[in-house]
Chain A
Amino acid sequence: MTNRREFLQIGLFACTGSWSMVSLADSGPATGLAKPVQAVLQDLRYPTAAEYAWGLLGHLAGAEHDARLAIKGIDGELSRLWFGAWQRGENLSLAGTTGADVLFCLEQLGRDKGLRVLWRSSHGKHDDGTGEQVLYSWILAGTPASIAHNHYQAAEFA
């Protein structure tokens, strides 16, 4: 778990240690993702999420991700975004700082499109249990392997 200062000072890809850190540590974000990150989510329920989300945005922009990349605010309910435009998108790549519930839903939904949580880091709660709600920063994208299995399309309307 990282605190806010560590997160911002050490940098996104040095502060992980989590199970889901795969190829990004070696290859860096620009080459590790099959598709530039299209949006960074900020969970509006947690004021501190903004700082982390902007930190993510800065790192991703610096890694030559889409210059139009912007923060999208959500209030914990991502279904309108996911089941709207995103569901029909190909090779979706997302990043964000959200509560655990949003990350869980994205993990479950992402697998239908061949996406995995490639990196995540938690912050916000101290070891003694005090402090703010635990937040997660994460990247959800297709790995080169799973992109090959990225076949699920949006519902077809016959």
Chain B
Amino acid sequence: MRYPPGVSQSDFDRAVVEFRAAIGEQWVFTDEADVDLYRDAYSPMWGEGEEKIPSIAVAPASTEEVQAIMRICNNYRVPVYPVSTGKNLGYGGSAPVLNGSVVLDLKRMNRILEVNEDNAFALVEPGVSYFDLYNYIQERGLNLWIDCPDPGWGSLIGNSLDHGVGYTVNPYRDHFEAHCGMEVVLADGDIVRTGMGALPNAETWQQYRWGFGPWLDGLFAQSNFGIVTKMGFWLYPAPEAFRSGSVQVPGYNDVHELVRITAKMMYSGILNTNAGVQSPMQGLLGRTPEMRERYERANDQNNHDEDTRALDDFARSNNTPFWSSQFKFYGPREIVDSSWEYVKRQFAHIEGVRFQDQESLDFPMTHEELMQTVDENHFGVPSMSVFQLGNRSNFNPGGSSGHLGFSPVVPMTGEAVLKSNKILARALRELGGSTVFNVPPYSYHQRTFTILVGFTVTRDADANRKTREIFRELVKVAADNGWGEYRTHTAFMDDCAVVYSFNNNALLRLQQTLKDAIDPKGIISAGRYGIWPKHLRDSDNKGVGNA
């Protein structure tokens, strides 16, 4: 059996005996073969001394058992790392930030406590996956959609607490924004309900989120202040229809007007789904070195009329628009059709603009029919098809054991699209990085674009070390330009947290103050999102082999 750092063997042995008494012997996993299942399959430190590995794992079945576990951990100062389903691959999976922590595996807490069709909400436990809730709704024929990330095997609560996102409409696509009410177990085993849940017999816990007084829910996301054991989510009343279309603009500089209008329509609610900016020219530029150089020079320089004219001529001669955006509409048929017509009118003044009608669907559709659409995730259907990206292919000839995403948030402007392209591409070139995929700016959140630079993770330690080095440099480069990550893998949480450094890291210092007050022994998820407990804050010994 492995032992956690900072706990004597005798104390830990006693804690394990008490864990077994509290939740049953079969739910306390101490054999290395079992504990190894909690390794992060996408770890960029796989097989190295820095890899994060837990000591043991415990799997309680109820809030009461979570409370019992926490009282034991608090008594013996045992570090504990809660995971919902442990499927947060790319962001650390089920492996702790602090090596040797006890994984608190909540996937046995998998009850769907309520789904209310008329008021469109659900109340669930952490072990409920998107598939579970989807199946529940399908089996009962409820007229509701979920909003799911890809893949859909993760926990609603876990994904929401990590600020995960999906693909339908506001507010459902931002999974933390779509939550309403929490139940949280604190480090000492006490239990709190937020919002209207603090009112005994509350009838609006999942409908009115603010409750009375300060709203605390944000403390429990991307943090380590408590263990969420119940959470409410707003669900999307199934829409009648969907349609999508793309707007294509011909010139290099048209990106500014394309994004300006897109942003205006997002802020006014006409567009309420995610949209991105792509360049259909990307392939052509890649195959044409002279034009690629002009593109880089145009991005690099302020006065680039000659290059932009040449680029526009090149695009025109290839009958290829320089930029395009895809827009999606959900709702009554009349409204989605009218919205698309309205959107087209907003762009009509751009010389050479083209519009392309894409999918048009009327609901309800069967599961099988939805799986035949361009992307089932856009219709609240969970799947795992995203894993096909890791296979060997022309796109990814080496195959991979996983991936990481570097994902800074940038403004929703054409200028930011060009600037982020320039800065990140240059940094990657200088750092010798090669990425498998670079996703263009995409509005995962309502008022910003997120740039996703994807790295493969392999079982080659040297390659992974190089990836980590590049990733860490990109964090600094982005921060120098005012862009921070919205979410990251556990390996980079310190790197990403520390660049939020206004006023000598005042935000992090406040988070640390809260940590010391709420979890004075520092036992919950030490180091998560850069928040270390007092006894480890300045220590070089943050667990055996910790990065």
- Cβ B87 vs Cβ A133 within 8 A: no
B147 beta carbon closer than 8 Å to chain A:
no
- Cβ A108 vs Cβ B385 within 8 A: no
- Cβ A155 vs Cβ B127 within 8 A: yes
Interface pick from B103-111, B214-222, B276-284, B523-531: B103-111
- Cβ B129 vs Cβ A134 within 8 A: no
The distance in angstroms between the C-alpha atoms of A144 and B438, with both chains bound, is 44
Rounded to whole Å, the gap between the CB of B546 and the closest CB of chain A is: 24
- Residues of A contacting B135 in the complex (Cβ-Cβ under 8 angstroms): 83-84, 155
Interface residues of B in 363-378 (CB under 8 A from A): 367, 371
Interface residues of B in 45-60 (CB under 8 A from A): 59
B383 beta carbon closer than 8 Å to chain A:
yes
The distance in angstroms between the C-alpha atoms of A99 and B396, with both chains bound, is 14
Interface pick from A31-39, A48-56, A71-79: A71-79
Q: Mark B118-154, 1 if CB is under 8 A from A, else 0.
A: 0000000001110110011000000000000001110
- Cβ A158 vs Cβ B113 within 8 A: yes
Closest A residue to B389 by CB, please name it.
A101
- Cβ B384 vs Cβ A156 within 8 A: no
- Cβ A158 vs Cβ B131 within 8 A: no
Rounded to whole Å, the gap between the CB of A106 and the closest CB of chain B is: 10
- Cβ A155 vs Cβ B112 within 8 A: yes
A30 beta carbon closer than 8 Å to chain B:
no
- Cβ A79 vs Cβ B387 within 8 A: no
Interface residues of A, dominant DSSP: mixed
Which of B59, B107, B382, B391 is close to A100, meaning CB atoms less than 8 Å apart? B391
Closest B residue to A109 by CB, please name it.
B153
Which of A76, A107, A145, A151 is close to B388, meaning CB atoms less than 8 Å apart? A76
Interface residues of A in 75-101 (CB under 8 A from B): 76-80, 83-84, 87, 99-101
Closest A residue to B388 by CB, please name it.
A101
Closest A residue to B29 by CB, please name it.
A149
Interface residues of A in 140-158 (CB under 8 A from B): 145-146, 148-149, 151-158
Which of A129, A134, A155 is close to B132, meaning CB atoms less than 8 Å apart? A155
- Cβ A155 vs Cβ B26 within 8 A: no
Knowing A79-B131, A80-B367 touch, does A157 contact B26 (C-beta < 8 A)? no
The distance in angstroms between the C-alpha atoms of A148 and B29, with both chains bound, is 11
- Cβ B371 vs Cβ A77 within 8 A: yes
A65 beta carbon closer than 8 Å to chain B:
no
Knowing A155-B110, A156-B111 touch, does A111 contact B385 (C-beta < 8 A)? no
Rounded to whole Å, the gap between the CB of A88 and the closest CB of chain B is: 10
Interface size class of A (residues with CB under 8 A): 35 or more
- Residues of B contacting A63 in the complex (Cβ-Cβ under 8 angstroms): none
- Cβ B37 vs Cβ A111 within 8 A: yes
B295 beta carbon closer than 8 Å to chain A:
no
The distance in angstroms between the C-alpha atoms of A5 and B371, with both chains bound, is 36
- Cβ B385 vs Cβ A77 within 8 A: yes
Knowing A108-B41, A149-B29, A155-B111 touch, does A101 contact B391 (C-beta < 8 A)? yes
Closest A residue to B115 by CB, please name it.
A157
The distance in angstroms between the C-alpha atoms of A87 and B139, with both chains bound, is 15
Interface residues of B in 11-68 (CB under 8 A from A): 26-27, 29, 31, 33-34, 37, 41, 59
User: Footprint of B on A, CB under 8 Å?
Assistant: 76-80, 83-84, 87, 99-102, 104-105, 107-109, 111-112, 125, 129, 133-134, 145-146, 148-149, 151-158
Closest 8 CB pairs of A and B: A155-B132, A83-B131, A101-B387, A155-B110, A111-B37, A158-B111, A156-B111, A79-B384
Q: A101-B387, A155-B132, A156-B111 are in contact. List 6 more A-B contacts (CB 8 A).
A: A83-B129, A99-B391, A100-B390, A104-B390, A133-B393, A153-B110
User: Footprint of A on B, CB under 8 Å?
Assistant: 26-27, 29, 31, 33-34, 37, 41, 59, 85, 87, 89, 107-108, 110-114, 127-129, 131-132, 135-136, 151-153, 367, 371, 382-385, 387-388, 390-393, 397, 399
27 contacts between A and B (CB under 8 A): A77-B385, A79-B383, A83-B129, A99-B388, A100-B392, A100-B399, A101-B387, A101-B388, A101-B391, A105-B151, A105-B387, A108-B41, A108-B89, A108-B153, A109-B153, A129-B397, A133-B392, A145-B33, A149-B26, A151-B27, A152-B108, A154-B132, A155-B111, A155-B132, A155-B136, A157-B112, A158-B112
